[in-house]
Amino acid sequence: MAEETMSEEVADGQSGNRPRRGRVHVFPLMVIGLVATAIGIALGLLIDWFPVQAATQAEDVDTVYHVLIITSVPFFVLVTTIVLYCVWQFRERPGEEGLDGPNVHGSTGLEIVWTAIPAILLIALCSYAYVTLRDIEEAPAAGEPELIVEVTGQQFAWTFAYPEAEGGAVKSAELILPKDVSVKFNIKALDVIHDFWVPEFRMKIDAVPGITTSFRVTPSKLGSWSVVCAELCGVGHALMRQKVTVVSQERFDAWLARKQAGGKAAAGGGAAGEADGGDKAAIGKTLFAEGNGEATACGACHALSDAGTSGAAGPNLDDVLQGWTPAQLTEAIVDPNKAIAEGFTEGIMPANYGETLTKPELAALVTYLEETAAK
């Protein structure tokens, strides 16, 4: 029976007027489409896909996502349903090889509709996203405080500076922020393109050599989150992760003051040449925790409790520092790829500390590490 129908159709097809096989199943298709749409939207909205919202910006960003889900799932389902239906209904049966249906020429009305609907939708969604971004990036009202933080990306670590801190600029390998204060990040890169991202804040932007990019967040939750590099930047990209800690304003002020006191004790990295003994170690400690502007802070990648750093891209120095001679320490800093600690990869640590640190700075760093290991 089936074969008879088929041969009839094939015969008609050859005459160029192949009839459609049965009626189009509009009703079952609509039911399937509605069910699939409901499931898709429910999965998008009910499942908690995102990390915690740790900045005031996060809620608006998540709302943009939800609106996009609600508007795009129905169209995705519509297109997918029609494509799958056509594949199933109009597939080539045995004996139909090389046959083709009648040619369909353009339909102006249809083309206008399927161009206009996506265009209107796209313009509406883009405008909505643009307005949201403009709102959440708005500068705080006059008189409201704003904290400026300079972020520098370098293979393969971030360093941070607080240029407007009362009592003098502060550099740090760790990002500490006060809660409920608008923070403006000014972001730079020294070598290749990186991307400064804190998923819990929902904001990210490229760090591009030669220009300064920026975004604002207002941290709204106490805690520690990851600073992530979101742009493939070399062999150490996956390890370019640090920590941001959001604390109360009082603790933030106390931390800044402590940093400033430490910095002053070691004032003038350039004076490292004349310094000796305790001064030298203090300069080394500052270099370790802050870098010197050209050399990345060691603490961005290495945890060392004496320096208060917790970087994890490189070996934890609290565990491995004991028993090194000054010569071995110097070699490990200027020629890091000569011997790689177990579990770590060659090429992660910058191999240019011999150039980015002056000789006295290098000596101060080695003195500090030696004295710390002996503590």
Contacts with ligand CUA by CB under 6 A lie at 153, 156, 194, 229, 231-233, 237, 240
DSSP state of 313: S
Q: Is 256 helix (H, G, I), strand (E, B) or coil?
A: helix
Q: Which residues pair with 223 in a beta bridge?
A: 246
Nearer CB in complex with ligand CUA: 156/185: 156
Nearer CB in complex with ligand CUA: 94/210: 210
Nearer CB in complex with ligand CUA: 194/202: 194
Q: How far is the CB of 338 from ligand CUA (least distance, A)?
A: 24
Q: How far is the CB of 61 from ligand CUA (least distance, A)?
A: 22
Nearer CB in complex with ligand CUA: 40/153: 153
Q: How far is the CB of 202 from ligand CUA (least distance, A)?
A: 19
For the chain, where are the alpha helices, taking DSSP H only?
2-14, 26-46, 56-89, 108-136, 249-265, 278-290, 317-320, 326-334, 353-356, 359-374
Query: What would the two tokens of residue 175 be?
Result: 């990002």
Q: How far is the CB of 239 from ligand CUA (least distance, A)?
A: 9
| Alpha-carbon torsion, ordered 58, 63, 65, 71, to 10 deg | -170
Q: How far is the CB of 260 from ligand CUA (least distance, A)?
A: 29
Distance, first Cα to last Cα, the chain:
93
Nearer CB in complex with ligand CUA: 241/259: 241
Nearer CB in complex with ligand CUA: 211/232: 232
Q: How far is the CB of 126 from ligand CUA (least distance, A)?
A: 28
Which positions ≥6 away from 318 have C-beta within 8 Å? Answer: 303, 304, 305
DSSP state of 168: S
